[in-house]
Structures are given as structure tokens and as C-alpha cells.
Amino acid sequence: MSTLKNYLSLIKFSHTIFALPFALIGFFLGIFYFPLSVIPGWHTRIFSPQMPWLKLLMLFILVILCMVFARSAAMAFNRYLDRKWDAMNPRTAIREIPKGIITPKNALTFTIANCLLFIACCFFINPLCLALAPVALAVVLGYSYTKRFTPLCHLVLGLGLSLAPIGAYIAVTGQFHWLPILFSFTVLFWVSGFDIIYSLQDEEFDRSNQLYSIPAAVGKIKALNISRFLHLLSFACVVAAGLLGALGWLYWLGVLVFGTMLIYQHSIVKPNDLRRVNVAFMTANGIASVVFSLFVIADMFVH
């Protein structure tokens, strides 16, 4: 049990709360709405008489497992690659690899095992998911290298998590569609924005160790302004999805909650006061993702 707890801590399993709700949005979009036309808003409800309930349940489980395995691989690989800097940074020196709780070899083995499990789940979903599995892994694993050469690493992290809604939609339908892609852009800008806020804590460490981040490149004030702009883009994407998808009043209540949480996290983090970064990072964004997704999915049931 302690070993399981250590690995769950290694991958920050609680942070699954950020992208998993958006994967569920993509999954239920695939179930409820099948595009009849490229014209925005033209859909038919298909709460899937064609798809047996057992098959639907198995597909749901496979989508959840894909999300968990891909994210676990990405987080473990990140901890493996960054173990040198984690040991030097007082904020991260308590992590499992620097403290010797998990060896680098075991972390890498854990990464490989999760990659293989992710590919296996994609195999059982559909051919398109299987074909795209290496691309998804390349993005989520490749993020760990980006802090070594570009301050745009936050956007690569956002890109990795943004695969959740479109990936879940493809799992159900076997095709792309603009509505889940809009939700993917929502995640891209949202995650990039709050990762910039989180990385404010390491501005000086990153700069002194030749690591790249937006706070290290431009300073705290400009970094927060960039984060606000990215969150504005994220909010614009959820509004566009609601308008173009002709979604209902429950969806717009979710948009209100999502926007409120974006504003709240920026109101409590200041360039000269980072004491509430963790509240902004975990609490505000956790509420934003979970509550927003609940309203979106509920809207599909009643709309």
C-alpha cells in the first residue's frame, strides 16, 4: 500500500482533476451529438441506440484508462528527467526521486509500462486512436524536454492536456469535429495560463540554472499579463463553443463558473505575493474543470 501511495504521489494523481473532466466532455459529446453537416449547430441526438450499453461502458472505462496511463507516463517521465534540478530546488527536493523513495530506474520502468498500457487501450478502442497513440505520447513525453530550450514550455504542457477532449471524442466517433477541438483549445490556453502562474515560484531558480520559463524570461509582472491573456483566450473558446454548438442554459451557467474561477485565481496572485499560488493552482482550477464539466454534461442530457 505504501508503494502505491508513493507512485501516486510521484505522478501527482490528484492533478488528474484538471484534464479528466474535459475528457468526459469529449466522450459525452461523442455519444450525444453526431455531426450531420459542417454547418455549425446542425446535430442530431444519438444517445446511442446503435451502441449497446455494455460496449458503451467498456469504451468509457478504456477512455478513462487512456487518460490515466498517458498522464502517469508523462508525469513519471518528467520526474525522471528533472531529478537533477528537483534535488537542487528547495521546493521540489522533497519529491520521491530526490529523497530516494523511488529510484530513477523504477520511475523509468513505470513510465514505459504506462506507455504500453496506453497503447494497448487505444488498440481496443478503434484504429484511429491506435494510429494517433504515438503522436499523443510524443507530445506528453516531449514536454519534459522543453524547459531546456524554450520558455514556451507552458504551451506544450497545455497542448498535452488539450488532447483529452478531442481524444475522447475520437474514441466514440472515430472522427474529428470542430466542437471538441474548441474544447481542446480551451484546455490548451487554460492549462498554459495556470502553469505560468505556478512557475512563478521558480523564477529565480530557473534563471540561475539556465532553465526556460516565461517568468524567468520576462519577469513576474509580464508573465502574469501573459497568463491573463491566455485565460482570456480560453474563456473565448468556451463562449465560441456554446454559441456555435447551440448549447443550452446549463452550459452557460458552467461558463459563468469557469470564468469566475479564472478571474479569482488572478485576483489572489500578485507579483510580490505568491503565498496563494497553490490555492489558485489547485482549488480554483479544480473547481473550474469539475463544475464546468458537470454543467456541460448535464446540458447535453436536457438540451
78-112 pLDDT, tens digit each: 999 999 999 999 999 999 999 999 999 999 999 99
The DSSP letter of residue 33 is E
Is 70 exceeded by the pLDDT of residue 44? no
> H helices within the chain, ranges in order?
2-10, 20-32, 53-81, 83-88, 104-125, 127-146, 153-173, 178-199, 203-208, 214-218, 220-244, 249-268, 277-278, 285-302
126-149 pLDDT, tens digit each: 999 999 999 999 999 999 999 999
Number of residues assigned to the chain: 303
Is 50 exceeded by the pLDDT of residue 49? no
Per the structure block, which three cell numbers stand in for 151? 520558455
Percent of the chain whose predicted confidence (pLDDT) is above 70: 93
**Grid-cell match 481524444, residue found:** 167
Q: How confident is the model at residue 278 (pLDDT cuts 50, 70, 90)?
A: confident
Is 70 exceeded by the pLDDT of residue 36? no
Is 70 exceeded by the pLDDT of residue 237? yes
| Domains and their CATH numbers in the chain | 2-302 (1.10.357.140)
Dist CA 138 CA 159 (whole Å): 11
pLDDT for the residue 47: 43
Is 60 exceeded by the pLDDT of residue 37? no
Is 80 exceeded by the pLDDT of residue 46? no
Is 80 exceeded by the pLDDT of residue 303? no
The mean pLDDT of the chain is 90
The answer for residues whose C-beta is within 8 angstroms of residue 255's C-beta and 6 or more apart is: 235, 238, 239, 242, 292, 295
CB burial of 249-281 (b: ≥16 within 10 Å; e: otherwise) equals ebbebbbebbbebbebbbeebeeeebeebeebb
**Maximum distance among all Cα pairs of the chain, rounded to whole angstroms:** 59
Would you list the DSSP string of 73-108? Answer: HHHHHHHHHTHHHHHHSTTTTTSTTTTTSS-HHHHH
